[in-house]
Amino acid sequence: MPVLEKGTDFLKGSVILIDKPLGWSSFDLVNKTRILLQKRFRYKKLKVGHAGTLDPLATGLMIICTGNATKDITKYINLEKEYLATACLGKTTPSYDLETEINHTHPTEHITREKILKILPQFTGKIKQIPPVFSAKKMKGKRAYDLARKGENIELKPNVVYIREIELVEYNRPILVLRIRCGKGTYIRALARDIGESLDSGAHLVALKRTAIGDFKISDAFTLKNFEEKIKFL
């Protein structure tokens, strides 16, 4: 696991694990990391990048690379990710999460733990998944979310994604908690949508935490506050 020690040269390259706060974009986190390091070590310029976006409404592990380590970003992006996802059954939103308002409600009385366990295996392995229209996917040369916010009718083509594991952690109707281990390009929001439909209902994501990227664990990550304190002594 990456370790920050006295004498760490962030220009030569380092890998930093940070727990992204709720409400922050991935760009916000990269920018804040750069500012903290430039201020502390008086760098005029410092390359900083991340190995995999998290939506502002998601929290959890992000791999931040600095200096020459940014050349390894693709390697980290290709690693499998693990998430803890919380979905609300019976209600849908256009974005499949809390970014947009509820647009439809569906019954949930028929959904039992046994029914959930029965349908989950169909979402493992290689599956076809239609990305959310509120996403960074490009269509007609523009981001899908820009077109969606203008009210344009969008039909995105399905992608093949890989889900290694999906485990039911908790079910207290209508709230469903899942642990998911998946490959790059998987939209957990879209997975929540598809699970809701398979249960003859609907669903949207209400919380998402990335807990691992490959062998990198959230338990080894800094909070922003802890990171700021740590670099004072480097």
What pLDDT digit, counting tens, does each position of 164-203 carry?
A: 999 999 999 999 999 999 999 999 999 999 999 999 999 9
Q: Is residue 108 part of a domain?
A: yes
Confirm whether 55 is a catalytic residue.
yes
Given a cut of 60, whether residue 148 has pLDDT beyond it is no
Are 102 and 68 members of one domain? Answer: no
CA-derived radius of gyration, the chain: 19
Contacts of 168 (CB under 8 A, 6+ apart): 113, 116, 117, 120, 176, 177, 178
| Type of residue at 132 | P
- Domain assignment of residue 175, yes or no: yes
Domain count, the chain: 2
Q: Are residues 39 and 147 in the same domain?
A: no
From the centroid of its chain, how far is CA 143? 18
For position 141, what pLDDT does the model report?
A: 61
Instruction: Tell me the CATH number at 67.
Output: 3.30.2350.10
Q: How far is CA 46 from CA 21, 25, 226, 227, in A?
A: 23, 20, 21, 17
CA distance 30 to 68: 15
Same domain, 51 and 88: no
Check whether residue 68 and residue 102 sit in a common domain. no
Predicted confidence band of residue 140 (pLDDT cuts 50, 70, 90) = low
Q: Cα angle at 102 between 190 and 149, to 5 degrees?
A: 70
Answer yes or no: do 73 and 114 share one domain: no
Domain that holds residue 73: 14-78+215-231
Q: How confident is the model at residue 154 (pLDDT cuts 50, 70, 90)?
A: low
What is the distance between the alpha carbons of residues 113 and 167, in angstroms, rounded to a whole number?
12
Contacts of 113 (CB under 8 A, 6+ apart): 168, 171
State the pLDDT at residue 132: 86
Across 117-142, average pLDDT: 83
Confidence of residue 83 (pLDDT cuts 50, 70, 90): very high
Which listed residue (9, 19, 28, 55) is catalytic? Answer: 55
Output the pLDDT for position 156. 76
